[in-house]
Amino acid sequence: MKIALFNDNRLGVVADGRVYDLTETVPWDARCAQDSLEQFIEKFEYWKPQIEIGLTSFPSHPLQEVKLRAPVPKPSKLLAAPVNYLNHQSEMNAQFNNAPFTIEKLGLFLKAPSSIIGPEETVYLPRKDRRYDYEAELAFVIGKKAKNVSAEKAGEYIFGYFALMDMTLRGPEERCWRKSFDTCTPIGPWIVTSDEIPNPNELQIRLWVNDELKQDANVRDTIWNCYTCLAKASEIMTLYPGDIITTGTPEGIGPITKGDRVRIQVERIGEFSVNVDFAEDQE
């Protein structure tokens, strides 16, 4: 099932080019969309059959007539994987570092949840004199409380998957500092529930800047796959429904600047685009 937030954070299911509105069917307060989403996630097995049976009876809109929102608007945690693809590891160490680093040495890092935006929004780059890069990633949202979960069991704790752009300032600052600017985490276009993704570790990820293909890789080339990322994170901290883990970017990173249009696509999930501008050119 494709779970979307749309317009003023209403809850929808996307099917056959339409968005079916569940806002009046399940408990949902659009002013507290994250809280509502977490409750919906925890009760999803209860709601799922009713939604499937009643879907076409719910009010609906053509997909192109709604404004999609970030499908996970305000998670308590947004964890991210650094240098998690072997070919990107070589690229990073060649360009930015003399000492090689690996995800095994670094672990995951926290990125500010307040950096999240949705499809068709604008990424505002705060500093004109610094380099910002796009990073295409597969991300997932936690489905139930997880602590010390093994990689073998990790799939049971994932509610669903979506595409994420980890817009990144290059430079010597801490990752948290360089990756937490407002608007620098576009996510979307919706959550695809785990039952529709039998193997998340085999999905193709692509990213274009101004229709030029820049990244084209498969999650199978990660060093820590989705399940290992969840397992490792749950050794350190309790993961809660609604938390996000993003699994890192493959090779092909490069700079973005004002006027760019960036599009991400993940196999079996979908695609969305964002625009890029300089923050200081705004009011």
Which of residues 162, 249, 264, 269 is near Mn ion by CB under 5 A?
A: 249
Question: Binding string, 180-219, against Mn ion, x = CB under 5 A?
Answer: ----------------------------------------
Which of residues 21, 38, 166, 243 is near Mn ion by CB under 5 A?
A: 166
Closest separation in Å from C-beta 237 to Mn ion: 19
Stretch that binds Mn ion, among 43-51, 89-97, 145-153, 249-257 (CB under 5 A): 249-257
The rounded distance, in Å, linking the Cα atoms of 192 and 3 is: 6
Q: Kind and range of the H or E element at 36?
A: helix 33-42
Q: How far is CA 173 from CA 64, 145, 179, 180, in A?
A: 40, 32, 10, 11
The rounded distance, in Å, linking the Cα atoms of 259 and 277 is: 6
Between residues 21 and 135, which has the closer beta carbon with respect to Mn ion?
135
Between residues 21 and 166, which has the closer beta carbon with respect to Mn ion?
166
Number of residues that bind Mn ion (CB under 5 A): 3
Residue type at 144 in one-letter notation: K
Closest separation in Å from C-beta 110 to Mn ion: 12
Contact assessment for residue 187 and residue 197, using Cβ atoms and an 8 Å cutoff: no
Stretch that binds Mn ion, among 93-101, 169-177, 246-254, 263-271 (CB under 5 A): 246-254
Stretch that binds Mn ion, among 15-23, 29-37, 127-135, 154-162 (CB under 5 A): 127-135
Question: Which single residue brings its beta carbon nearest to Mn ion?
Answer: 166
User: Read out DSSP for 136-190?
Assistant: EEEEEEE-S-BSS--TTTGGGGEEEEEEEE--EE-SSS-HHHHT-STT-EEEEEE
Q: How far is CA 161 from CA 41, 53, 89, 98, 281, in A?
A: 13, 23, 24, 34, 34
The sign of the dihedral angle between the CA atoms of 102, 115, 131, 256 is positive
CA neighbor of 210 nearest in space, from 254, 166, 247: 254
The rounded distance, in Å, linking the Cα atoms of 226 and 247 is: 6
Between residues 38 and 135, which has the closer beta carbon with respect to Mn ion?
135
Closest separation in Å from C-beta 80 to Mn ion: 5
Between residues 60 and 249, which has the closer beta carbon with respect to Mn ion?
249
Residues 130-149 that bind Mn ion (CB under 5 A): 135
When asked if residue 121 is in the footprint of Mn ion (CB under 5 A), the reply is no
* Binding stretches for Mn ion (CB under 5 A): 135, 166, 249
